[in-house]
Amino acid sequence: MSKQNQWIVGVNAVASSIEKDPENVREVLIEAGAKNPRLVEIEEEALRKGIDVRKVNAQALGGVAGQVRHQGVVARYAAPKLWDENELQGLIEAAEGKALVLVLDEVQDPHNLGACLRSAAAAGVTAVVIPKDKSAPVNATVRKVSAGAADSIPVVSVTNLVRCIKDMQKLGVWVYGLAGESDTTIHKLDLRGNVALVMGGEADGMRRLTRETCDQLVRIPMPGDIESLNVSVATGVALFEAVRQRL
């Protein structure tokens, strides 16, 4: 898989990349004169693993980090490009009947996307599928929020989400869409086989064609007064119901 240089921003994201994938960390930039002991730990660990470390001023870090709060450290990272949709079939087949795929239909907030990827990595998903258009890009903010998950699980970018869902169905994947109006709760499903869970975007939920293509719509039971959950919270609840059943 080809790679592209990106900047990873923030203490946890940089520390995670040095720990989990030092071969792809090209250099670390640390704010000169900063007093945070975590920055000392990051510098020592980077040097121990043969990664170049440069001390720079806060203004230089801000120029690299953009709108993301850098916390005194950034790293230049040879990030894997997103997986191609043609590779999804192989990932599902390699799961040998136990594929767990997360499909995100137009999740446009990078913080939400990062949180979804973090939950997906913790749940051991086979792949996360996002549309090429109208989805948050996997950028520095997403990588920071995901705490390294953005590069530890396959994120598959697809041109046509409905066609991708139909292709998964042909491979024996049962596709459940999360929708609050459904009569069926997620706890009544058997989520132990080849399963894809489809989550809608922040504004309008799943698009109509996506909803109609799912095999079944299900809901997370919510006895409280709130009608809906944040998409990243709902993603965590749904994925870990599948994990609970599989364990």
Annotated binding site for S-adenosyl-L-methionine: 200, 220, 229
d(Cα 235, Cα 237) in Å, to the nearest integer? 6
Joined tokens for residue 198: 């489809």
- C-beta separation of 102 from 129 below 8 A: yes
With residues binned 3-state (H G I as helix, E B as strand, rest as coil), the percentages for the chain, rounded to 5, are 40, 25, 35
Annotated binding residues: 200, 220, 229
Q: Using alpha carbons, list the distances in angstroms from residue 134 to 79, 104, 131, 158, 229.
A: 22, 11, 7, 11, 21
Residue tagged 């990078």 (tokens):
110
CA–CA gap between residue 117 and residue 149 (Å, rounded) = 6
* Per-residue CA distances from 80 to 76, 85, 91, 153 (Å): 13, 15, 16, 11
Q: In whole angstroms, what is the distance from residue 242 CA to residue 247 CA?
A: 9
Beta-bridged to residue 140, according to DSSP, are: none
